[in-house]
Every structure is written in structure tokens, then in C-alpha cells.
Amino acid sequence: MPFWLELLICACLILGSLFALVGAIGLYRLPDFFTRLHGPTKATTLGVGGTLIASMLFFAHHTGSLSLHELLITLFLFLTAPVSAHILAKAAMQQKVELTERTQGQPWDDDH
């Protein structure tokens, strides 16, 4: 395997791992549901995407042909993660989940 390809794969893996770590720390440390929702939907999605791109590059070199499985997984992940986060946020607004005092942008009341 060429050295530049190994460096590219390692960079994708390290970058993906760092994004996944930041997403996991955000999920653990952020104070309420709405702020915790950003960890898995933003950073962790990019982390899994980086790991899948590294996998796609690695197996494309070893098999000699481009495998679209990883690309399709990445595409579906980038499409479904924001949609599921939106649905979770709407359900939490409907249930009137408690917010911390520091959370800005309060959801609309029923009066408006």
C-alpha cells in the first residue's frame, strides 16, 4: 500500500475518532436534552462518516474496485441523523421537556 494512502486513511480515522469523541463528551457534559441532541447528530455523524470513508479507501485499494457500501452507509447516515434529531426535538417540545436556565431560544408557548 502506498505511504500517502496510509497517511490519508490514518488521517480519516483519527479525524473521525476525534469527532466521535467530541460528540460523546458533548452527550455526557451538556446540561439538558436540547443541547445534548447536538452531540450525536453533529459531531458523531461526522466521526462515523470519517471512519466509513477511511474504510472505503482501505478496501478499495485491497480489492481493486470501489465498493459503494460504505458510501451508501455514509449517505444514509447524513440523511437520517438530522431528520431523527428534528423529530426528537419536536417530540421534546411537545412533551415540554425541562430546560436549564442557560439554554437560549425557548420554544413557543401555546399562547402565541
pLDDT score for 47? 92
pLDDT tens by residue, the chain, 112 residues: 899 999 999 999 999 999 999 999 988 998 888 888 887 788 888 899 899 999 999 999 999 888 888 889 988 988 898 899 999 989 988 998 888 887 777 666 555 4
Q: How far apart are CA 84 and CA 41, in angstroms?
A: 9
Q: Where are the chain's structural domains?
A: 1-93
The predicted pLDDT at position 110 comes to 55
Give the model's pLDDT for residue 43. 87
* CA–CA distance, 90 with 82 (Å, rounded to integer): 12
97 and 37 Cβ atoms separated by less than 8 Å: no
Q: How many CA atoms lie less than 13 Å away from 32 in the CB half-sphere?
A: 14
SS3 call for 52: helix
